[in-house]
Chains A and B, each alone.
Chain A
Amino acid sequence: MAKFDEAPIVKDQAAGGVLIAPLPREGAASGVRCWPSKPKDTVCIDLPPERVPDWQEKAVAKLGELLAKNKALRVFMDICVRCGACADKCQFYLGTGDPQNMPVARAELLRKVYRRYFTLSGRLFPQAAGAADLDEAMLGRWYTYFYQCSECRRCAVFCPYGIDTAEITTAAREIMCSIGVSTKYVTEVVAKVYQLGNNLGIPPAAWVDNCQFLEEDTLEQTGTAVRFPVDEQGAEVLLVPPSADNFANVDTMIGYAKLFHVLGTRWTTSTYCNEAGNFGLFLNYRNLKQVNKRILDAARMLNVKRIIWGECGHAWRAGVLTPTLNGPMDAFDPPYPYHISQFVADMLRKGALQGKIDASANDQYLVTYHDPCNPARAGQLIDEPRAILRACCNRFVEMPSGTIRERTFCCGAGGGLLTDELMPIRMAGGKARAMAVRHVQANFVATICAICKAQLPELMHYWDVPVEVGGVVQLLGNALKL
């Protein structure tokens, strides 16, 4: 990983596990950009394959449409006072020092265009009013810096008006999509979901194979026949995990299976929709809705009583939007939408796992919990994962208070940034998390997000923090007495 050892990553040290905010370094991260999308992907997801003619007018018209349709965007365009409270709160600013990565500066990229075309002062005196044309240079900055934002909402926690840069980034990306400007990574993933049912592009047959393999593996290791059912009609629970759980983070998958085995719950996964993750969230509303709809469709096809979302951060963000996006869920058992962490926490509360957990199974680990951004700040999941960890681990330690719970740092790769060409940004953005883990000397980071689980091992390796990364349910699985 030597190729980006110099710029744009800030070299300043952390104090007590918390990064020291760097001075602005103009343009430090301006060279790191996503690859542009390819027509083979955009055609599958109903986006223009290339920049449309008259793109300026169309983009401005789209902004006008979004302003009329989204209260958050409209209010956030006007009420920022540029106090700078958020300036040193973004992990991408902390890691790169690029002033355009200060949340307020990022938002100003859109606000300048808003003022230019939608306010009187901006039309008459653009210079004095802080307005700017949407020209090629501005679009370039949009493309760069709205894809250096992981939509993690950390800035909103510190903003006195709750201005959520994620809403602004979402709007800017929606506008860019509509004029044919999107990234290869995100469009490719969404296209794969429509073609094969999941983000990784795993065909149904491979999913079934892998589940069988996991069954054999678990039998070998534990001596117990734990099932990994696929496409079972009439099951009680449809588990919608991130597809990575079945391939990369298999220990988490084994954790789910052991959990349902111990509880005696009939569960299943679906080959039609074996992906909770929703990259539509990072692209546009239309695809967000369309991808999310697959979950309900799969549940109806299999005639299940309840849907449980697996350990995926942004999937939960989209998941809680399900009734809004795809209609009522009243046909399913409440509570809904339901997350695996909530399910386990409820089971613990009810005593259903009483005497079935041997926490000493995790004694080799000093565990800490990384709050993924979406569950913590958009999904109300803060105490549940901790309750599970405290139940199944004897050695649990919290990172410094400014880096956990609703103040958690993004892993550095959320929001559609988990792609190789953004590696410098990812390593810079994740630095805050890495330093906090190093500070507490944990040897296991548990988390409930597939993107975090993909990013954190690379991140910890880069920052030289020796630590294992895995799921909360994975640790629970270790401790369950079958």
Chain B
Amino acid sequence: MSTSTALWDLGSCLLIGLAYLAGLVFVAGLAWRLYTYACTPMPWPAALTPAPKSQGGALLRLAGNIALFPSLWRADKYLWLGAYLFHVSLLLILLRHLRYVTYPVPALAVSIAGMPMSTIGLWAGCVFGLATLYLFVRRLALPRPLYLSGWPDYVVLALVGAIAASGLLLRYWAHVYVVDVKAFMIGLLTLHPVPPPQHPLFLIHFLLALALLVYLPFSKLLHAGGVFFSPTLNQPWEVQMPGKRYANPWDEKAGQPAGGPDGQV
């Protein structure tokens, strides 16, 4: 066995270890953060009005907000366009990636409305890259976003942009042998890891994606899960419904007729 093979084997093991570690941090971190949100009580009704009057209506409102970003549309049409293209193309790209981690490949990852996923993926990848660039440049070019942006804002966009660029290059320029990629990914997911493809650009793409996974639960990227817990959007307007009472879970003294003008609760 030559030195380079030994080094490669060592590197493979390291990469596989990193992948599992990153996966663990991502899953456990996300679960922990969202669990904390779910467990934290909301002391008072906080729906942003006009709000729907039923639980179902509130869910629809939340779903609509997540699917279409109406608030952003009201706020800033250009930003809405950039952010919307960014998120929709991200979704398509993730669907496109399903074929690397599933067997058999689900229909949604093969074609959508008769258009092959490879074509959609190319378009989505390009749009995603441009949208990322727009969001990055916007932060530098407009006075208010420039004032508001800090290092984390730029770094995360740069990271996402680098992942997109390396991914596009892998598919359309420095081809990686897709069968190897799929074997590697399925190996990881079925806990029977095999060495990764020996392709530097693939390794960069993969490592950057791991970095993003680890970063997500501990950063503003948590908006992806956090938005579901936003009380202004997910609460219905039920406070005037007879018999309905929104109780503050930690205020055990609520309802007791004690107290007076001396300020004693």
* A, B from the same assembly: yes
Contact of A72 among B50, B232, B256 (CB under 8 A): B232
Q: Does A380 contact B (CB under 8 A)?
A: yes
Bound CA–CA A345/B176 (angstroms): 69
Residues of chain A contacted by B79 (CB below 8 angstroms) = 83-85
Binds B, one of A73-81, A347-355, A447-455: A73-81
Binds A, one of B70-78, B104-112, B163-171: B70-78
Residues of chain A contacted by B36 (CB below 8 angstroms) = 74
A99-132, CB under 8 A of B: which get 1 and which 0?
A: 1001011001000000000011100000011100
- Closest residue on chain B to residue A121 by CB atoms: B218
The answer to whether B42 and A71 have CB atoms under 8 Å apart is yes
The answer to whether A69 and B48 have CB atoms under 8 Å apart is no
Given A82-B220, A87-B148, A336-B242, A156:B40 Cβ within 8 A: no
The answer to whether A324 and B83 have CB atoms under 8 Å apart is no
Q: Does A70 contact B (CB under 8 A)?
A: yes
The answer to whether A88 and B144 have CB atoms under 8 Å apart is yes
Contact of A158 among B45, B51, B71, B261 (CB under 8 A): B71
Min CB distance, A58 to chain B, in Å? 19
The answer to whether A194 and B222 have CB atoms under 8 Å apart is no
Q: Does A326 contact B (CB under 8 A)?
A: yes
The 5 lowest CB-CB distance pairs between A and B, nearest first, are: A327-B255, A79-B226, A162-B232, A85-B75, A158-B75
Residues of chain B contacted by A289 (CB below 8 angstroms) = 251, 254, 265
Residues of chain B contacted by A422 (CB below 8 angstroms) = none
Known: A75-B231, A82-B153. 5 other contacts (CB 8 A): A75-B37, A324-B239, A327-B256, A337-B240, A406-B50
The answer to whether A85 and B71 have CB atoms under 8 Å apart is yes
Residues of chain B contacted by A99 (CB below 8 angstroms) = 144, 147
Bound CA–CA A406/B50 (angstroms): 7
Can you name 29 A-B pairs with beta carbons within 8 Å? A74-B40, A75-B230, A78-B33, A81-B153, A82-B145, A83-B79, A85-B72, A99-B147, A105-B148, A128-B151, A157-B74, A160-B83, A161-B223, A161-B227, A162-B65, A162-B71, A162-B230, A164-B232, A285-B43, A289-B251, A321-B239, A323-B246, A324-B239, A376-B49, A377-B48, A377-B49, A378-B48, A380-B240, A407-B74
Min CB distance, B243 to chain A, in Å? 7
Q: Does B247 contact A (CB under 8 A)?
A: yes
Residues of chain A contacted by B145 (CB below 8 angstroms) = 82-84, 87
Min CB distance, A249 to chain B, in Å? 24
Q: Does A140 contact B (CB under 8 A)?
A: no
* Chain B, range 52-81, C-beta contacts under 8 Å to A: 65, 69, 71-72, 74-76, 79
Residues of chain B contacted by A338 (CB below 8 angstroms) = 240
Bound CA–CA A441/B233 (angstroms): 36
Given A81-B223, A328-B255, A334-B242, A70:B50 Cβ within 8 A: no
Most buried by A among B37, B143, B230: B230
* Chain A, range 128-182, C-beta contacts under 8 Å to B: 128-130, 153, 156-164, 167
Q: Does B184 contact A (CB under 8 A)?
A: no
Q: Does B192 contact A (CB under 8 A)?
A: no
Residues of chain A contacted by B256 (CB below 8 angstroms) = 327
Residues of chain A contacted by B232 (CB below 8 angstroms) = 72, 153, 156, 162-164
Q: Does A204 contact B (CB under 8 A)?
A: no
Residues of chain A contacted by B257 (CB below 8 angstroms) = 297, 300, 327
Bound CA–CA A21/B51 (angstroms): 28
Q: Does A302 contact B (CB under 8 A)?
A: no
- Closest residue on chain B to residue A87 by CB atoms: B144
Given A323-B245, A376-B49, A75:B229 Cβ within 8 A: yes
A interface residues, tally (CB under 8 Å): 82
Given A71-B231, A128-B151, A160-B65, A24:B143 Cβ within 8 A: yes
The answer to whether A161 and B230 have CB atoms under 8 Å apart is yes
Residues of chain B contacted by A75 (CB below 8 angstroms) = 37, 40, 226, 229-231
Q: Does A86 contact B (CB under 8 A)?
A: yes
Q: Does B41 contact A (CB under 8 A)?
A: yes
Bound CA–CA A72/B46 (angstroms): 9
Given A69-B250, A71-B40, A79-B223, A85:B76 Cβ within 8 A: yes
Q: Does A233 contact B (CB under 8 A)?
A: no
Bound CA–CA A157/B254 (angstroms): 30
The answer to whether B46 and A323 have CB atoms under 8 Å apart is no
Q: Does B142 contact A (CB under 8 A)?
A: yes
Residues of chain A contacted by B227 (CB below 8 angstroms) = 79, 160-162
Given A162-B232, A320-B45, A324-B248, A84:B71 Cβ within 8 A: no
The answer to whether B43 and A69 have CB atoms under 8 Å apart is yes
Q: Does A474 contact B (CB under 8 A)?
A: no
Residues of chain B contacted by A321 (CB below 8 angstroms) = 44-45, 239
The answer to whether A164 and B143 have CB atoms under 8 Å apart is no
The answer to whether B40 and A68 have CB atoms under 8 Å apart is yes
- Closest residue on chain B to residue A402 by CB atoms: B74
Residues of chain B contacted by A60 (CB below 8 angstroms) = none
Given A79-B223, A290-B263, A130:B147 Cβ within 8 A: no
Q: Does B114 contact A (CB under 8 A)?
A: no
Bound CA–CA A39/B262 (angstroms): 15
Residues of chain A contacted by B74 (CB below 8 angstroms) = 157-158, 407
Q: Does A293 contact B (CB under 8 A)?
A: yes
The answer to whether A70 and B40 have CB atoms under 8 Å apart is yes
Bound CA–CA A194/B262 (angstroms): 7
Bound CA–CA A457/B46 (angstroms): 31
Bound CA–CA A290/B253 (angstroms): 11
Residues of chain B contacted by A380 (CB below 8 angstroms) = 49-51, 237, 240
The answer to whether A69 and B41 have CB atoms under 8 Å apart is yes
Residues of chain B contacted by A314 (CB below 8 angstroms) = none
Residues of chain A contacted by B250 (CB below 8 angstroms) = 69
A378-392, CB under 8 A of B: which get 1 and which 0?
A: 111110000000000
The answer to whether B262 and A337 have CB atoms under 8 Å apart is no
- Closest residue on chain B to residue A197 by CB atoms: B261
The answer to whether B231 and A119 have CB atoms under 8 Å apart is no
- Closest residue on chain B to residue A73 by CB atoms: B40
Residues of chain A contacted by B40 (CB below 8 angstroms) = 67-71, 74-75
Min CB distance, A331 to chain B, in Å? 12
Min CB distance, B133 to chain A, in Å? 16
The answer to whether B75 and A89 have CB atoms under 8 Å apart is yes
Bound CA–CA A76/B232 (angstroms): 11
Min CB distance, A155 to chain B, in Å? 9
The answer to whether B222 and A79 have CB atoms under 8 Å apart is yes
Q: Does A325 contact B (CB under 8 A)?
A: yes
Bound CA–CA A74/B45 (angstroms): 16
Bound CA–CA A128/B44 (angstroms): 35
Q: Does A45 contact B (CB under 8 A)?
A: yes
Residues of chain B contacted by A327 (CB below 8 angstroms) = 254-257
Residues of chain B contacted by A24 (CB below 8 angstroms) = 143-144, 147
B204-231, CB under 8 A of A: which get 1 and which 0?
A: 0000000000000010101100110111
